[in-house]
Amino acid sequence: MRTEVCEMFGIEFPLFAFSHCRDVVAAVTNAGGLGVLGAVAYTPERLEEELRWIDDHVGGRPYGVDVLVPAKIDESAARAGRGEGGLDTMLAAVPQEHWAFLFALFEKYGVPLPDFEKAKKANSKGGTQVTTEGASALIDVSLAHPIRLIASALGTPPPLMVDKAKAAGVPVAALVGTAEHARRQVAAGVDLIVAQGGEAGGHTGEISTMVLVPEVVDEVAPLPVLAAGGIATGRQMAAAMALGAAGVWCGSVWLTTEEAETPPPVKEKMLAATSRDTVRSRSRTGKPARQLESAWTREWEGPASPGPLGMPLQMIIAEGAMRQINKVAETGNPGARELANYFVGQCVGQMNAVKPARQVVYDMVQEFADAVDRLNTITG
């Protein structure tokens, strides 16, 4: 395929794969797309390992890294995280009421409590990475590798990130959910906009991909735009590019690939889910994020809930709890299976078979060509 982003990144297909799993990143890059590693869950040390592994497996082909630099986080929690106390201080900022609700939830669903002191420490890692300091360390690690793209998954990338990336000659991408945000990203110096519709998994706004993409394309022209949200097939890729996108950014579709490290009970749920089985909820990160509907989302959004906390505190609670829930769910515990969930978009309804990631790429490219052929038949 020939598009501006194919030339910009030296790739065959303008298909960007966001994944937390290095195997998916490498597989998509090797298949002619561009894999982007979601780094938020990693410590700098772990990220260093992952990127070294990717370098060893892509033979110099282009890949990228995605960090989460929230424009607005719970500042008191962030300050606590920056202080001497570190994680402990941040954990202390979680109200007792929320721990109590969480413990009651475990009891209600018959899930044994983890060693919570240990778990709290392990959990808190997800939370600290979304502070400015945490993200900054991940950026430094990333730029020391031959990455070809650095992306900000949430909010305008801070000058620090843009400056460091530009100095390293690495283009910066940013995800946006409105044309207004796109305008701000361009002003911040971003090179590539990812317009993400509300049907997407993870943090997302409410405007659909069909409406958002042409708005953002018109807003930021001549800057290239990738479309995200609801794209898991070649027909959807063709649709996105008919809307004016220069390529697509897919996240959900990799979660049921052979390579994905998605916890087995969650993978099963995704394979069985229809497009109706997702919900936009604050219960995992503190910000609205689309995910599988499960007992977890229902309980946190329900009448007995104290309400999800902000980011990053809710993330601290949720990530640790989910680690235990997934572990217990794998043993067949029915309550844990009810609670288990993960971020995924509405296209989960089309994710019905486990395939290798490279096969997903090839199928999308083939179906894209078929869709264009069909359109040509219509115009005659």
The answer to whether 233 contacts a copy of itself (rule: CB under 8 A) is yes
The answer to whether 141 contacts a copy of itself (rule: CB under 8 A) is no
Would you say 230 and 211 are in contact if contact means Cβ atoms under 8 Å apart? no
Least distance in Å: CB of 38 to a copy of itself?
22
What is the radius of gyration, based on Cα positions, of the chain?
20
The answer to whether 281 contacts a copy of itself (rule: CB under 8 A) is no
Q: Please report how many Cα atoms fall inside a 13 Å half-sphere around the Cα of residue 250, on the Cβ side.
A: 32
| Contact window for a copy of itself (CB under 8 A) among 92-100, 110-118, 240-248, 307-315 | 240-248
* Choice from 242, 271, 301, 330 touching a copy of itself (CB under 8 A): 242
* Choice from 15, 102, 240, 361 touching a copy of itself (CB under 8 A): 240
Task: Give 122 or 242: the residue with its C-beta nearer to a copy of itself.
Answer: 242
Contact pattern from residue 187 through residue 226 relative to a copy of itself, giving x for each residue in contact according to CB under 8 A and a dash for the rest: ----------xxx------xxxxxxx-xx-----------
The answer to whether 379 contacts a copy of itself (rule: CB under 8 A) is yes
The answer to whether 377 contacts a copy of itself (rule: CB under 8 A) is yes
Residue 362 exposed, middle or buried by CB count within 10 Å (0-12, 13-18, 19+): middle
The answer to whether 229 contacts a copy of itself (rule: CB under 8 A) is yes
Task: Give 13 or 342: the residue with its C-beta nearer to a copy of itself.
Answer: 13
The answer to whether 298 contacts a copy of itself (rule: CB under 8 A) is no
Q: How far apart are CA 175 and CA 295, in angstroms?
A: 29
Helices 209-220 + 234-242 axis angle, to 10: 40
* Choice from 47, 77, 161, 238 touching a copy of itself (CB under 8 A): 238
The answer to whether 347 contacts a copy of itself (rule: CB under 8 A) is yes
The answer to whether 350 contacts a copy of itself (rule: CB under 8 A) is yes
Least distance in Å: CB of 277 to a copy of itself?
10
Binding site for a copy of itself (CB under 8 A): 1-3, 178-180, 197-199, 206-212, 214-215, 229-231, 233, 235-236, 238-244, 274-276, 345-347, 349-350, 368-369, 371-372, 374-380
